[in-house]
Amino acid sequence: MVKDKYQKLVSILQEMKSVVVAFSGGVDSTFLLKAAVDALGSERVLAVTADSETYPSSELLEAKELAKRIGVEHQVIETSELAIPGYTENDKNRCYFCKNSLFELLIPVMEEKGYENVVYGVISDDMNEHRPGMKAAKEKGVRGPLQEAQLFKQEIRELSKQFGLPTWDKPSFACLSSRIAYGETITKEKLTKVEKAEAYLKSHGIRQVRVRTHQEMARIEVEPKDMKMVLDNHEAISKELQTYGYKYVTLDLIGYQSGSMNKVLS
């Protein structure tokens, strides 16, 4: 079943002839990049990563290393989501503004360098979630081959492991803006605060973590198995996060949930 889906993915990519891959270095875009190179050859694939204030510098470094490992040309473009009209207001369509701006930058790269398509890492799991970015992709003619091949996250991890990709068990990641409660203005200072807080918790050996920000309160989400570590070190963690600007530091007893901020949306 999974092998059939992969063959379908290869066929979809081969029909595209050449692609620019919106490459973040995450599980899905890394697998998509590897599949594109296998299907088309490295000379017909370009990886492009956006360097912005909404992604940690560690993610950019990892993306560069992954592109080199896969053996594909990699271009980094400078972007600023905070300069996009409508983005910092942080309403439920925030991701639309981000993806729309990204694709507006990628399409000229595609045209200038002679590629025929822009693709990104949307997957089948995303179809049942709040993903405004998909609307932007549809409007711009940007395709999602993984979703077209009906591949789900667990299948992508399985195939990534088979192909020897180090991202096969990488924790899910989303831009830092997703940590800030809807309706609360996004600023560089808040993004930096989130980045520092999550990096500090990861330094304690926690791999999957979100520091959801509600004004002056940090709501820490970790997997249940990591809750004891947070509680055992609650004094040190609280003090450290308070130095970043949080006044209240809490642990969410439900645990890590992808897209948990979307619960407030109707």
76 and 185 belong to one structural domain:
no
Question: How large is the average pLDDT for residues 87-104?
Answer: 92
Q: What is the distance between the alpha carbons of residues 138 and 117, in angstroms, rounded to a whole number?
A: 13
Q: What is the distance between the alpha carbons of residues 8 and 148, in angstroms, rounded to a whole number?
A: 9
Which residues belong to the active site? 175
139 and 41 belong to one structural domain:
yes
When the pLDDT of each residue in the chain is averaged and rounded to a whole number, the result is 94
User: Tokens standing for 92?
Assistant: 């439920």
142 and 211 belong to one structural domain:
no
In a domain, 170, yes or no: no
Reply yes or no on whether the pLDDT at 261 is more than 90.
no
Comparison of pLDDT for 244 and 264, the residue scoring more: 244
pLDDT digits (tens, 9 = 90+) for 196-218: 999 999 999 999 999 999 999 99
Reply yes or no on whether the pLDDT at 86 is more than 70.
yes
In a domain, 156, yes or no: yes
| pLDDT reported for residue 130 | 80
In a domain, 228, yes or no: yes
In a domain, 253, yes or no: yes
Answer yes or no: are the C-beta atoms of 119 and 145 closer than 8 Å.
yes
Answer yes or no: are the C-beta atoms of 72 and 40 closer than 8 Å.
no
Report the percent of the chain where pLDDT is more than 90.
84
pLDDT digits (tens, 9 = 90+) for 54-82: 988 889 999 999 999 999 999 999 989 89
CATH number at residue 83: 3.40.50.620
Nearest to 120 by CA among 201, 36, 237, 57: 36
Beta strands 45-51 and 19-22, pairing class: parallel
12 and 135 belong to one structural domain:
yes
pLDDT digits (tens, 9 = 90+) for 99-112: 999 999 999 999 99
52 and 122 belong to one structural domain:
yes
When pLDDT is cut at 50, 70 and 90, the band that residue 131 belongs to is confident
Write the CA distances from 105 to 49, 116, 235, 264, integer angstroms: 11, 15, 45, 31
Among 85-94, 103-112, 145-154, 156-165, the range scoring the smallest mean pLDDT is 85-94
What's the order of all strands across the beta sheet hosting 217-222?
209-214, 217-222, 248-251
Task: Give the chain's length.
Answer: 266
When pLDDT is cut at 50, 70 and 90, the band that residue 263 belongs to is confident
Question: How large is the average pLDDT for residues 25-37?
Answer: 97
Question: How large is the average pLDDT for residues 16-39?
Answer: 97
128 and 201 belong to one structural domain:
no
143 and 200 belong to one structural domain:
no
Answer yes or no: are the C-beta atoms of 119 and 16 closer than 8 Å.
yes
Question: What's the pTM value of the predicted model, to 2 decimals?
Answer: 0.90
| pLDDT reported for residue 57 | 86
Which of 108, 141, 163 represents a domain boundary (last residue)? 163
The count of structural domains within the chain is: 2
Reply yes or no on whether the pLDDT at 265 is more than 90.
no
CATH number at residue 243: 3.30.70
Q: What is the distance between the alpha carbons of residues 147 and 126, in angstroms, rounded to a whole number?
A: 8
| pLDDT reported for residue 238 | 98
120 and 191 belong to one structural domain:
no
| pLDDT reported for residue 191 | 95
| pLDDT reported for residue 168 | 96
Reply yes or no on whether the pLDDT at 129 is more than 80.
no
| pLDDT reported for residue 111 | 96
114 and 21 belong to one structural domain:
yes
By residue range, what is the domain housing residue 189? 176-264
Which of 101, 129, 163 represents a domain boundary (last residue)? 163
Q: What is the distance between the alpha carbons of residues 220 and 57, in angstroms, rounded to a whole number?
A: 21
pLDDT digits (tens, 9 = 90+) for 118-127: 999 999 988 8
Comparison of pLDDT for 174 and 188, the residue scoring more: 188
